[in-house]
Structures are given as C-alpha cells and as structure tokens.
Amino acid sequence: MIKARIPAVAPEAANLRDYSRARQTFSWKEAEKQLRRQSGSMVNIIADSLDFWADDPQRADQPALIFEANSRRESLSYRQMRDMSARWANLLTRFGFAEGDRLLLFLPPCPEAYFAMAGAARMGVMFCPVFSTSGFYELEVRLDNISPRGVLTHPDLAEQIPVDLSSRLAHILLVCGPAPELFEQETIIENMAKTMSAEFPTALLPPDTPLYLIYTSGSTRPPKGIVHTHSDMTGMQTTARWVLNLKDDTVLWTDADPAWVTGTVYGAFAPWLCGVTSVVIRQPFTAANWYRALENLGVSTWYTTPRVLRDLMEAGDDLPTRYDLSALTHICTVGAPLPPAMLYWTRQHIGATPHDTWWMTETGMICIANLPGTDIKPGSMGQPLPGIEAAILDDNGEPLPALSLGELALRPGWPGQMSQIWKEPDRFAGYFKNGWFVTGDIAVEDEEGYFYHQGRNDDLIKAGDDKVIGPFEIEQVLCMHPAVAEAAVISKGREPGRGISHLKAYVTLKQGNTPSNRLNYEIRAFLKGNLSSELLVRELVFLDKLPKTISGKLLRRVLRARELGLPGGDPSRMQD
C-alpha cells in the first residue's frame, strides 16, 4: 500500500471536521430526524428540496439549476424550479400518469429531463433515465422490463424506439417539433408545460415509494433495473455535504448524464436537498470546453471521472493556465480508480486536489471516500463514511484481516441501499451473504482503514494455489513503462499442470511509440522485473484504444468475450 499522504483540508473548511468522532457517534436515524423537514411518516424528496428552499426568502431566488449548451444558458431559481416541477406534474397528469406509473426519459442532458424528474417525483411516478445513445436492443430490454406508461424523448430519437413496443405505450411525448407523420400516441409537448398551473400538491408518500430506476450492466445476464426510493434523501444530502463539501454558496458541476446514477443523485437531487446551485452542461468534450465551463460558471465543486482528468492531462500542461480556475476549491472523482500520477498532475496544474470516491448504482450514494477533512493516500479510494461499515470478505463470506485481497462488502441498512431489482427478487437476494451486502468489487483494506480497489470479482487472477491478485495492480505496473499509456489484463484460465493464470495484456501506447516485437518483449520483461516472476504475461497485444463504458470504466469482459469469439457489444453504449 502507498505510504505517502496528502494532508487533509483544514478542518474548519470541511463540513465533517472530526471523522473519528463521527464514526463513533453518528446514527442514520438521528441524521434523518435532523434533515427531514416534513413531520410524520410520509415523505417526498421534492417537499424536502425544491419546495423547502422555494419557501425560504433567503434562498428562493438563488439558482437551483443552470443549464448551458453552446451559446444557450438557462438559469432557474428554486422558486422557478418548484413551479416548473408543479407544471410538469400537471402535464403528466393530463396524459394520465398517476402514482405508481413509470416514465422513461430517453433524452440527452437538457432542462426538460430535469423538469420531468422533478415533476414525476412530486406526484409519485417512478422515472427511468436512459442514455440518448441507446440502441434498439437496449431500449427493447428496458421498455419490456418496466412497461412504462410513456416515454419522454426527442423527435430525432423517437425512431430508435422498437415499433412493436411503441404500440404498447400510452404516450410518446416529444419535447419539441417538428416531427413528421406523428403516430396516434405521439404528442409534441413543446411549451405545453408553460400553460399548466404552477400549483400541484406534493404527494406525501411512504418512504419506500420508488423514486427512480436505473439500469446497470450484468456480466452474464441482462441489465439489472436498480430501484431507489424517496427515503434515499437522507443519504444523498449527508454524503453531498460531507464528501462534496457543499456549502450555501457552492456551485456544483457533476459532469455526468442523468442516465448514469451519478448524474441523477449528485447532479440533481443531492444539490437540491442542500440548497445549492447545480450546473448542467451539454457540450462535446474538449479540454477547452471543460476549462471554459469551470471558469465561466464559477464552479467551486466539481464531481468528475478519472477519464476526464486523463483527457485533460493529455491536452497539455499549458492549457489550464489560460483560464481562471480560482473559484474551484474541491474536486471529487468516481467511476474508476484514480492513479497517483493523475492526482498529482491535477493538484499541480488545476489547483485543487482530486478526492477519489467509491459507490455503485446499487448503493445509491457515496459509501467510501477521501473526505476533505481526512488525509489522502494516493491510489486509495478512501475510508468508509460514518454510518457505513465495510469489510473485505473471503469466499465463505467471512471478514479477512488487513492487507488481504477479497470481496468488498457493506453492512446493510444505510439510506440509499437499493430497494429491489425490478421484477427479479432472486437476483436481488444474491447481493446478501452472511449479513453483508456483497458488491462484487475486489479490494484491499490497509491497517488504517483505507480501501484500495483491485477490480471485479470475475477479474481475479491466480498466481499459485493460494495467491490471488486483482488485474488493477498488474495494469498499474504496465503503465509504469514509459511507452505504455493504458493497459488491461485478463486471465485465459489456469495453465495446465500449474497453479497460475495464463495472462493476456492489452496496451495502448503513448504518442511517439510504435508497436513492434521488440517493444512487446520489453514491456513483458518490464512487468516480470517489477511485479512477480509468478505472474507471466504470455501474450501482449497493442490496441488503438481499450473498450470502456460511457463514463470511462474499463470493460475487461469485452476483451474476454473477444478472446472467446463471442459478441461483446458496443462499449460506447454500455453503462457502468
């Protein structure tokens, strides 16, 4: 484990000032009592977010959402967002939506997506955002699984909806026109919400009422429909304050699509619960676009991915010096491990230290993080938040001692834990073992309670009968070679008569390096000399790029599928 430390932000600047004491005294039940603004047992996340701040004279006219696309910028205050959510609730009611119905959001990031999310939540309709890049098969699986009453989409995307399933939808609502040859269930709703009443009583609901559903890929089975409820709001708000360090004047940019759980939770509901400004940008990624957004919108907290930081690094050290990034005081990352070199580069050239975080669609909120008030160990995803008990389990579901490689597990009961997998109770039950919620991620915990991500449980590599290693460590060593930009390692099974895995590596090269047999040999020899003689990479392949999800998470299973001659799918369309 890495011994170097980066000192914590000064405690007076961190919302959570005493991590050790909080771990001993914190209670989710007490947090819920303090954060809930509605009395009684019934809840609604909109009542405790948009409604609450819209009724606060000091905050009502502060921006809740700023949307920017190209030259267009739209800013809506908390008062305006409350009214807009009511208008959209009335609009959905006009089309027959009622508590318990489902609404599929098939849109790129746009104001209408956030209005619909807020309107649906206000009335107890479960919404399901999907990526606008989704193809026929992806839409078919999702539509068939949740049977929504309707789909909110754009005319350019409507043709992607399978015809046989579209006929089963009561409504296809198009956010703008024109649209040629509308089918019977298609309606252009452009500007229709503005004609609706800005009054709609917020439905107070049982806490376990579904709020949203997001699909996450399965390694061997169809995508899982992960359901989260209105009761998640305690976890959303608490983690946003502690990890993202949200304060009254924070301008938060979570550069994630709402179809990725990060975009829904920390791009919308968490900042609204905290009463801060959330920025949404729809622009093609370029380093200049991202730096310009940070400068022009005065972003103070930025939640991003290591992939974005890597792309900024590759754009050069000089580019960030052309922009005023002085407002940016806190950066967090999610989606993949944050390499130490990337951490130090960001700290030096952008001016804020990135704090890695870990959570999953299934957990509904950040569970492990490098908090502003605690030291950072580069390469670590941090420590469990107060109220979260984490452990490393062996194959029998028993906790392992420090510095042991095993499966990361959490003790159930935090507010944010998924409530169900839609229509798949047996699949849901498979997450629980010996009183733990097993995540499927492989990790190591050091003696001080810091966790280090090592891959997924189907990525384990055998280096002998007793020794098991995650691919991440091998890939990190490969990336230490001066010619290697990125690397992925898979196991092709155990070698006959030997207790070790047959490994195959895939690497991309840094600019200026050319694939050759000599370089192939040099890289494999470098790995052997820097890691373990028992870990022999028998094959190494040069690629132009590695398969990754939309958010930048490495897809080793696609490489394994290709190795077996099986269809691996289009990585650019895959969710985490």
DSSP letters, 489-539, are EEEEEEPTTSSBEEEEEEEEEPTT----HHHHHHHHHHHHHHS-TT--EEE
Q: What's the sign of the alpha-carbon dihedral 303, 305, 306, 312?
A: negative
Q: Kindly report the average pLDDT of the chain as a whole number.
A: 91
CB of 534 closer than 8 Å to CB of 521: no
**pLDDT surpasses 80 at 464:** no
Amino acid residing at 505: A
Mean pLDDT value across residues 238-257 = 97
Using DSSP's 3-state secondary structure scheme, residue 62 falls into: coil
Average pLDDT over residues 432-451: 95
Q: How much is the pLDDT for 557? A: 77
| Residue 496 pLDDT exceeds 70 | no
Q: Which of these, 288, 286, 285, 258, lies nearest to 270 by C-alpha position?
A: 258
- The answer to whether the CB of 435 falls within 8 A of the CB of 391 is no
Cα–Cα dist 212/236, whole Å: 14
Task: Give 166-210 pLDDT, tens digit per residue.
Answer: 888 999 999 998 877 788 899 999 999 999 999 999 999 999 999
Task: Give pLDDT, residue 568.
Answer: 60
**Residue 566, pLDDT score:** 65
CA atoms within 13 A on the CB side of 249: 4
What's the pLDDT band for 465 if we cut at 50, 70, 90?
Answer: very low
Q: What percent of the chain has pLDDT over 70?
A: 92
Token pair of 466, please?
A: 């007793």
268-300 per-position pLDDT tens digit = 999 999 999 999 999 999 999 999 999 999 999
Q: Which two tokens stand for residue 253?
A: 């940019």
| Peptide bond just before 178 cis, omega within 30 deg | yes
pLDDT tens track for 304-348? 999 999 999 999 999 999 999 999 999 999 988 999 999 999 999
Least confident piece of the model among 59-68, 162-171, 222-231, 386-395 = 162-171
Q: So what's the pLDDT on residue 391?
A: 98
Position 180 scores a pLDDT of: 76
CA 263 to chain centre: 7
> Are 48 and 233 contacting, i.e. CB atoms less than 8 angstroms apart?
yes
> What are the tokens at 79?
């008062």
**40-66 tens-digit pLDDT:** 789 999 999 999 999 999 999 999 999
Pairing verdict, β 150-153 and 171-174: parallel
Return d(Cα 379, Cα 402) in angstroms, integer.
17
Would you state the pLDDT for residue 534? Answer: 66
Domains and CATH numbers, the chain: 11-445 (3.40.50.12780), 460-545 (3.30.300.30)
pTM as predicted: 0.86
Q: Which of 253-257, 272-276, 405-409, 565-569 shows the lowest per-residue confidence on average (mean pLDDT)?
A: 565-569
pLDDT in tens, 131-140: 998 888 789 8
Write out the E strands in 232-312: 251-254, 277-281, 301-304
SS3 274: helix
Q: How confident is the model at residue 555 (pLDDT cuts 50, 70, 90)?
A: confident
Tokens 């990479």 — which residue? 537
How distant, in Å, are the alpha carbons of 157, 211, 450, 451 from that of 379?
40, 34, 10, 9
pLDDT at residue 3 greater than cutoff 90: no
Looking at per-residue confidence, does 380 or 536 come out higher? 380
- Are 45 and 269 spatial neighbours (Cβ–Cβ below 8 Å)? yes
Whether the CB-CB separation of 120 and 103 falls below 8 Å is answered with yes
Give the Å distances, CA to CA, from 366 to 1, 22, 183.
Answer: 23, 16, 43
d(CA 76, CA 65): 5
Average pLDDT over residues 414-438: 97
